[in-house]
Amino acid sequence: MKIALINENSQAAKNGIIHDALTSVAGELGHEVHNYGMYAAEDDAQLTYPMVGLLTGILLNSGAADFVVTGCGTGTGSMLAANAMPGVFCGLIIDPTDAFLFAQINDGNAIAMPYAKGFGWAAELNLQDCYRKLFEGESGVGYPKERAAIMAKNRGVLADLKSKTCHDMLTVLKNVDQDLLKSAIAGEKFGELFYANSQDEAINDYLRSL
């Protein structure tokens, strides 16, 4: 699985801590981690949380990533922005129990975490524990197990509902503020990581045209 890491500007200084925690767990489970930054608060390309949502939508809908790990000060802004995108199902994860239940019940494709609120001593251990509960087992098997079937049905209902209320990603890209879009994909390593992994030529062509 390809896991994309995205940090917005208020918490960019913590990118190294988050990346180390994520790779220490994901790597041993056989997953790839692609770090889209921000890498430091001083980066030229500044990502706000609305841009994080837009970038999350691009990565997941193009197939450049299978899962996105992101966040902001509280995690809420990034979660809301990500869930505004078609095909994105993002949960707010604070502790390992949240991570486990999100994976088992919701089987989403993105998480947002708080990187300021409650981010204190041994925060990197909480990150590792969350990532382990998120990625170590099979997702979507239900909890409790006897409710697995109804949970799977409800995920399908939600996915269908979202497909009716959202445009496809290419339409989104053509209609959003183009300066916002250019800023969202202006990261230092975006081109290197994205075009090597994206599976949607129409999205690729449109982004290159910018």
* Residue 48: predicted pLDDT: 97
pTM exceeds 0.75 for this model: yes
* Residue 99: predicted pLDDT: 98
Instruction: Kindly report, residue by residue over 107-117, the tens digit of the pLDDT.
Output: 999 999 999 99
One-character DSSP codes across the chain: -EEEE---GGGGGGHHHHHHHHHHHHTTTT-EEEE----STT-SSPPPHHHHHHHHHHHHHHTS-SEEEEEESSSHHHHHHHHTSTT--EEE--SHHHHHHIIIII--SEEEEESSTT--TTHHHHHHHHHHHHHSS-TTS-SSGGGHHHHHHHHHHHHHHHHHHS--HHHHHHHS-HHHHHHHT--TTHHHHHHHH---HHHHHHHHH-
pLDDT in 10s for each residue of the chain, 210 residues = 999 999 999 999 999 999 999 999 999 999 999 999 999 999 999 999 999 999 999 999 999 999 999 999 999 999 999 999 999 999 999 999 999 999 999 999 999 999 999 999 999 999 999 999 999 989 999 999 899 999 999 999 999 999 999 999 999 999 999 999 999 999 999 999 999 999 999 999 999 999
Report the domain count for the chain. 1
Instruction: Name the one residue in this structure whose structure tokens are 């129990």.
Output: 97
* Residue 3: predicted pLDDT: 98
Q: What angle do CA 160, 153, 63 make, to 5 degrees?
A: 50
How far apart, in whole angstroms, are the C-alpha atoms of residue 81 and residue 84?
5
Single-letter code of the amino acid located at 73: G
* Residue 175: predicted pLDDT: 98
Residues in the chain: 210
Answer yes or no: are the C-beta atoms of 73 and 115 closer than 8 Å: yes
CATH for 171: 3.40.1400.10
Full domain range(s) for residue 140: 2-209
Answer yes or no: are the C-beta atoms of 113 and 77 closer than 8 Å: no
